[in-house]
Amino acid sequence: MTAAALTAFLRTEAQRLGFDRCHVAPAGPAPHGAFFVDWLAQGRAGQMNYLHTLVERRIDPSRLDRRLKVRSVVVLGINYHRFDLPPHLRDDPSRGVIAAYAWGDDYHEAIRPLLYRLDAYVRGQTGRRLFARCLVDTGPVLERDWAQAAGAGFTGKNCCTIVPGAGSWLLLATLLLPEELAYDAPLAAERATCGRCTRCLTACPTAAFVGPYDLDPQRCISYWTIEVQESIPRALRPRFGNRIFGCDICQEVCPWNKRLPERTPLITALAAQQARLAPPLLEGFAAETPYWRRDDAFADRFVRSPLLRAGRSGMLRNVCVALGNWGDPAALPALALALADDSPLARGHAAWAVGEVLRKTGLPPARTLLVSAATSERHLAVREEIALALEMGETTAP
């Protein structure tokens, strides 16, 4: 079978399985591998230690599997834009906004079996016995670099892969094959550009972009709300607003993402679930729905959801930050529960949130909560959070 014929069969099967895009490039050194190595050297990966593993293979997939002898990188994309989050949900500070990719089930688990099936199809055409490498965002490969090299889209100033006409709401996966294929060319320069636009850079509330195409994750809302189980820097917390898992701001303001049609994903597991769009922040503290308070309730509420990655204590930390930014006295009963949580991480951020309610309202019950917590708290970092919250609460809103 010729390379062109095999590529055509591959694209047809990929589309049948539910992929919106299928592009191929010859394996070799990634075009921006040197940039990635320098990015790591600057410490930009933060706590994402997995990015420091297999660096040489990560920047050159042809070296990833010596037995397989990878010759082709197949870049597969799924458009996950369903609809824009209605303003009455997005802008309501009593609700927690979740990044759009997490409105459905975990895309890693939804896409991985499709890659296995696609590889099985190719093996059926070629007689190959070795399995291909099937990677969904978590494997050692620079997906966005290969997406650009294969013509699937281009890398925008916000570091997202942008598809002209379809925007940047794209989930990427890669299939590393030993077969030679008919390769795609990158998009023409006049189509692959952000032009003079810098909306994503200026809209970022935490100033996470060092410059165009250069993101510092350690200032990114997605990094802090998903990737790490540590205390969120105090200076950044007020800038998170009500975003409790990930952030889409740099995509929401992108002109390439304007006026996109609503659509239903071809893969049903990725369909948006209404309860995951922007859940009420206080709902998870109720006796009948204690998913911010109990591990089992959290696991049940978000079964198969990407939110499980952050864990209950990490999500409670994020929710406490959102409650503090809301600053409404209605949050005090929930925050009282969070102040008594088993997790010091959650208790510390609950103290900060109560301090924000105190600072914004001056209400005595907020101060009473903090003083009471201070008498029983034994964890040093939490005690420091309580002390700072009381100190900041001395400056109250008029």
Active-site positions? 137
Give CA–CA dist 82/248, Å, rounded: 14
Count of alpha carbons within 13 Å of 395, Cβ hemisphere only?
3
Contacts of 89 (CB under 8 A, 6+ apart): 95, 97, 277, 278
What dihedral do alpha carbons 138, 139, 140, 146 form, nearest 10°?
Answer: -90
Residue 351 sits at φ, ψ, to 5 deg, of -60, -45
Residue type, 361: T
For 316-374, the DSSP string reads HHHHHHHHHHH--GGGHHHHHHHHT-S-HHHHHHHHHHHHHHHHHH--HHHHHHHHHHH
How is residue 243 written in tokens?
Answer: 């975003």
For 253-301, the DSSP string reads T-GGGTTPPP---SSGGGSPPGGGTS-BTTGGGSTT--TTT-HHHHHHH
Give CA–CA dist 334/328, Å, rounded: 11
By the 8 A CB rule, do 223 and 206 touch? no
How is residue 382 written in tokens?
Answer: 């939490």
Closest among 226, 277, 340, 264 to 87, alpha carbons compared: 277
Contacts of 113 (CB under 8 A, 6+ apart): none
Taking the alpha carbons at both ends of the chain, their separation in whole angstroms is 77
